[in-house]
């Protein structure tokens, strides 16, 4: 049975049982606790936590997931994967244990002819929580499961929570016995290789308190509504039903290995376990990488981008070790597109952009790979020449952190050179880095939104801002410092929840509206508006006068000037995005945006800077759209209808069942968007691009002013040109040529000054050499040269002084400060080197004094530091090193 068919049967089984089919969420959701969606229930968290009322009593989905905690183990075994699909059925206070068990049993053991999976009931085992007698007896009653195939397990295996205070409960796991050739008898408590877990049924019935992630927390009581959350591993079921041993041999993964075999001429499973690891790494990471890029992740050096970069570079490294030297990522991406496309058609539609991102990352890595290999070869040569046999941990970490070398690549290269690697030192540095990353995540942890639970139960806030600026409303609740309060008085800053509001809440890249909340004798200045659970508008406001209380009748008022500018900024973003795609092609998709009155910022997937001509063309296309006064239309539909219309969705956004499509000029610009917009494009006013820059590998950023801000920017530019023209006494159009001529004259003058400075420095070389001090028979010239002398001039002077020392053993050390930085050069004479003096080895003696580092060869070394005040101490340290 093909994997796509397994997913289809799951969804059909549960929709026939009254569940609403919910599409997979993006792999990147707005959850500070998660880099990527890692379980099927993630998109339903607000319903389980009580932060929002569920729109349906029961649901089913096949969710794409990525887990990255053990990337280094991928390929070494057949059990570790980064990307997988989790099928699930969910009940929000509707049905509970009996129905969950019955649904699962009927699907798993139902005949394939009737739409089931056809597993042999005699090979099914289950586990339940230690004291969950109810589940134990239900398995016996519903499935006829004999007691000896129902095993009880403890809190770490069969009790579930989110790791934070909130819903929790016992779970029941379903296992399939693969047979005696796969391990020992005795059920899953004895051998989880033979007895493979395929489904976990979570019975969410309790509420937990503070404590450990998996155990050591109190159970506070039962939930008022009991829920069901299940997860079935699509890939695990696939390899069982396809009669293969692991996920790497299934229909959706094996084709990537086949492509790698074709490219390398080597064979998977041919008896070379090292090659097999490489094939598995390629297959797993290719799938994960394409799915991540498809959901808008671009390679980078932080967070999600770093994980993606690591995955893609591990593919390139593995392919190189299989003997392939040509580019490979676009070809592997095409295989993933063809295999995964039937379930995720957006991969086919968006493939030009995906291919561009992975191709650019491979080209970038090949450049850093060459640089990293040079660093490694130099380090290995120095170690061997000094009689050492181990690459230091910090060097291995540098190769990993700076050049993207996984540790196993460094280990392999070192072994080829006859060297070992200080793995413990490397792992210590990695642990420090992970600790810093975890600390950063904790700083942005998931806020406690339970205070809004009762307010959410009253219903969603009605947003009226599309139709009006002023709206009559009633205060439903007040929150201060995370606690509900009955009232707030003048000077207080409080969060205000009302039943209706005209004030836009920050979302979709658009800043929240500025405005007021006013009532009888009460006025509040709105500082910010945010959404909770996508349904509740929370206004942060300062009480200017009076006392605001729950139940008070008020009016929300949007600052009209702010709204005009906000609409121009957001509509301008859509126009620039459409112009960008028209000029660069459909693969130049927006990956993020920010807009506020008069300003917009748009990030998009693209490799390489835009030329001035391209920028001008984008600006011209944008302003032509403004001049043509295109109509702006809003259409409400479902996601399927939006996709049929060709509407562009923003990566990482979560959309409701009904979506809002904003058109500017019909199909020219058609995007899913909840923001506020102009009625016609001419209302945007002029659009002026003010910047284009890189925001990471494969991602660029455009910035622009719109409306009056664009006019003010252009007026300022015009005044600048006129002032320059006046100063240079030329017409405006001659300013560039005159400035270019002045710059060239300045360059020539600087060259002449450099020559004079060099001559002046060299003239003092004889005097400096004559003043050399003798330390144990070594002539030492160590001094602070005039501030501001660069490294090249220092080097020239040091060589000249060294030459003046003649045949004596000698050392020249020159330092120069330039603001907060220090440059230094150390040179040794031939006689000094014969006596055992090496410039590079002298640097560590004084570098700490100036907070610096550097290195070089025995005859010459140079470097820099950050503490000019330590130059005298550095010279003293150097004297001490020579004296000893």
Annotated binding site: 570, 574, 673, 677
Mapped onto helix, strand or coil, the DSSP state of residue 97 is helix
The owner of tokens 């729950």 is 550
Distance between CA atoms of residues 39 and 57, nearest Å = 20
Beta strands 159-161 and 150-153 are unpaired
Q: How far is CA 6 from CA 12, 195, 232, 672, 714, in A?
A: 10, 20, 11, 31, 60
Distance of CA 394 to the CA centre of its chain: 25
Longest Cα–Cα distance in the chain: 103
The owner of tokens 């009955």 is 486
Q: Identify the bridge partners of residue 638 per DSSP, sorted by sequence position.
A: 658
Distance between CA atoms of residues 316 and 404, nearest Å = 11
Residue 562 near residue 525, CB atoms below 8 Å? no
In this structure, the number of other CB atoms found within 10 A of the CB of residue 218 comes to 11
Beta strands 166-177 and 124-129 are antiparallel
**Extended strands (E) in 130-188:** 150-153, 159-161, 166-177
Separate counts of helices (H) and strands (E) for the chain: 26, 35
Distance between CA atoms of residues 496 and 549, nearest Å = 10
Question: What are phi and psi for residue 805, nearest 5 degrees?
Answer: -75, -10
Q: In the numeric block, which tokens belong to residue 345?
A: 């058609």
Residue 396 near residue 420, CB atoms below 8 Å? no
Residue 827 near residue 800, CB atoms below 8 Å? no
Q: In the numeric block, which tokens belong to residue 420?
A: 């070992």
Q: In the numeric block, which tokens belong to residue 284?
A: 């797993």
Distance between CA atoms of residues 172 and 108, nearest Å = 15
The owner of tokens 């289950």 is 126
Alpha-carbon torsion, ordered 658, 664, 670, 676, to 10 deg? -40
Q: Identify the bridge partners of residue 599 per DSSP, sorted by sequence position.
A: 596, 705
Distance between CA atoms of residues 229 and 58, nearest Å = 10
Distance between CA atoms of residues 285 and 52, nearest Å = 36
Q: 3-state SS of the chain: helix, strand, coil percent to 5?
A: 45, 25, 30
Question: What are phi and psi for residue 465, nearest 5 degrees?
Answer: -65, -15
Distance of CA 689 to the CA centre of its chain: 27
User: Binding site for Zn(2+): what residues are annotated?
Assistant: 570, 574, 673, 677
Q: How far is CA 734 from CA 576, 616, 728, 739, in A?
A: 31, 21, 9, 9
Q: Identify the bridge partners of residue 88 per DSSP, sorted by sequence position.
A: 61
Q: Secondary structure of 499-540 in the HEC alphabet?
A: CEECCCCCECCECCCCEEEEECCEEEEEEEEEEECCCEEEEE
Closest CA to 196 of 175, 179, 167, 223: 175
Distance between CA atoms of residues 556 and 526, nearest Å = 9
Distance between CA atoms of residues 97 and 230, nearest Å = 11
98: left (phi over 0), alpha (psi -120 to 50) or beta: alpha
Question: What are phi and psi for residue 201, nearest 5 degrees?
Answer: -105, 115
Distance between CA atoms of residues 154 and 175, nearest Å = 17
Q: In the numeric block, which tokens belong to residue 838?
A: 């090496």
Distance between CA atoms of residues 546 and 612, nearest Å = 55
């Amino acid at each position: 049975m093909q994997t796509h068919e397994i997913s289809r049967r799951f969804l059909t089984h549960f929709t026939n049982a009254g569940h609403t089919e919910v599409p997979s969420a993006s792999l990147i959701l707005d959850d500070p606790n998660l880099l990527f969606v890692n379980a099927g229930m993630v998109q339903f968290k607000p319903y389980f936590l009580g932060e929002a009322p569920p729109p349906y009593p029961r649901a089913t989905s096949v969710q794409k997931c990525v887990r990255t905690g053990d990337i280094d183990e991928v390929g070494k075994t057949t059990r570790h994967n980064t990307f997988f699909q989790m099928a699930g059925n969910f009940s929000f206070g509707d049905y509970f244990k009996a129905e969950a068990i019955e649904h699962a049993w009927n699907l798993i053991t139902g005949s394939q002819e009737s739409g089931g999976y056809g597993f042999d009931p005699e090979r099914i085992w289950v586990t339940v929580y230690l004291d969950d007698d109810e589940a134990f007896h239900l398995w016996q009653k519903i499935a006829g499961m004999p007691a000896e195939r129902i095993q009880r397990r403890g809190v770490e295996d069969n009790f579930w929570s989110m790791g934070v205070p909130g819903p929790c409960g016992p779970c029941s796991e379903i296992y399939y016995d693969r047979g005696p050739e796969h391990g020992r008898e005795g059920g899953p408590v004895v051998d989880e290789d033979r007895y493979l877990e395929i489904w976990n049924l979570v019975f969410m019935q309790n509420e937990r308190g503070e404590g450990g992630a998996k155990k050591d927390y109190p159970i506070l009581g039962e939930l008022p509504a009991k829920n069901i959350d299940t997860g079935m591993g699509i890939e695990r079921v696939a390899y069982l039903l396809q009669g293969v041993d692991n996920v790497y041999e299934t229909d959706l993964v094996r084709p990537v290995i086949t492509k790698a075999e074709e490219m390398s001429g080597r064979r998977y499973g041919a008896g070379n376990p090292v090659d097999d690891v490489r094939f598995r790494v390629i297959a797993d990471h290719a799938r994960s990488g394409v799915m991540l890029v498809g959901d808008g992740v671009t390679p980078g050096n932080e967070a999600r981008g770093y994980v993606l970069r690591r995955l893609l570079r591990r593919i390139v490294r593995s392919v190189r070790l299989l003997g392939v030297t040509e580019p490979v990522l676009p070809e592997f991406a095409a295989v993933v597109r063809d295999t995964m496309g039937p379930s995720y058609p957006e991969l086919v539609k968006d493939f030009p952009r995906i291919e561009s991102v992975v191709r650019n990352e491979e080209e970038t890595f090949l450049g850093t790979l060459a640089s990293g290999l040079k660093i490694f070869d130099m380090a290995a040569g120095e170690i061997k020449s000094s009689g050492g046999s181990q690459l230091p941990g910090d060097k291995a970490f540098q190769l990993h952190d700076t050049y993207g070398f996984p540790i196993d690549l460094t280990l392999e290269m070192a072994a080829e050179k006859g060297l070992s690697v200080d793995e413990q030192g490397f792992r210590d540095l990695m642990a420090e880095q992970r600790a810093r990353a975890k600390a950063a995540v904790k700083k942005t942890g998931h806020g406690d939104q339970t205070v809004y639970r009762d307010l959410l139960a009253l219903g969603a806030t009605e947003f009226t801002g599309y139709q009006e600026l002023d709206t009559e409303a009633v205060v439903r609740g007040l929150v201060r410092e995370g606690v509900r309060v009955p009232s707030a008085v003048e000077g207080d800053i409080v969060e205000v929840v009302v039943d209706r509001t005209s004030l836009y809440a920050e979302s979709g890249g658009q800043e929240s509206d500025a405005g007021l909340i006013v009532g009888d004798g009460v006025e509040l200045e709105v500082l910010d508006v945010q959404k909770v659970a996508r349904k509740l508008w929370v206004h942060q406001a300062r009480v200017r006068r009076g006392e605001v209380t729950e139940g008070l009748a008020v009016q929300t008022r949007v600052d009209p000037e702010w709204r005009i500018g906000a609409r121009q900024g957001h509509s301008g973003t859509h126009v620039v995005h459409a112009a960008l795609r028209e000029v660069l092609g459909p693969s130049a998709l927006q990956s993020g945006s920010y807009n506020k009155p008069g300003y917009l910022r748009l990030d998009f997937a693209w490799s390489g800077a835009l030329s001035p001509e391209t920028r001008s063309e984008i600006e011209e296309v944008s302003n032509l759209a403004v001049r043509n006064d295109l109509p702006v239309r809003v259409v409400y539909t479902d996601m399927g209808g939006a996709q049929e219309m060709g509407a562009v969705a923003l990566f990482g956004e979560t959309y409701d069942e009904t979506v809002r499509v904003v058109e500017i000029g019909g199909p020219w610009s058609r995007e899913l968007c909840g923001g506020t917009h102009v009625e016609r494009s001419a209302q945007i006013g002029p659009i002026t691009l003010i910047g284009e820059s890189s925001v990471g590998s494969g991602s660029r950023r455009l910035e622009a002013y719109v409306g009056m801000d664009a006019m003010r920017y252009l007026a300022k530019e015009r005044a600048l040109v006129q002032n320059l023209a006046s100063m240079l006494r030329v017409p405006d159009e001659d300013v560039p040529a005159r400035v270019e001529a002045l710059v060239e004259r300045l360059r020539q003058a600087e060259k002449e000054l450099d020559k004079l400075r060099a001559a002046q420095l060299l003239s003092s070389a004889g005097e400096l050499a004559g003043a050399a001090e003798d330390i144990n028979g070594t002539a030492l010239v160590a001094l602070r040269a005039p501030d501001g002398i660069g490294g090249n001039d220092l080097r020239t002077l040091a060589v000249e002084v060294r030459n003046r020392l003649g045949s004596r053993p000698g050392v020249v050390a020159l330092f120069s400060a330039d603001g907060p930085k220090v440059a230094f050069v150390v040179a040794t004479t031939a006689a000094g080197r014969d006596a055992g003096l090496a410039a590079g080895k002298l640097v560590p003696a004084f570098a700490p004094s100036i907070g610096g580092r550097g290195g070089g060869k025995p005859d010459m070394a140079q470097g820099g530091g950050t503490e000019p005040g330590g130059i005298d101490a550095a010279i003293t340290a150097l004297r001490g090193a020579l004296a000893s």
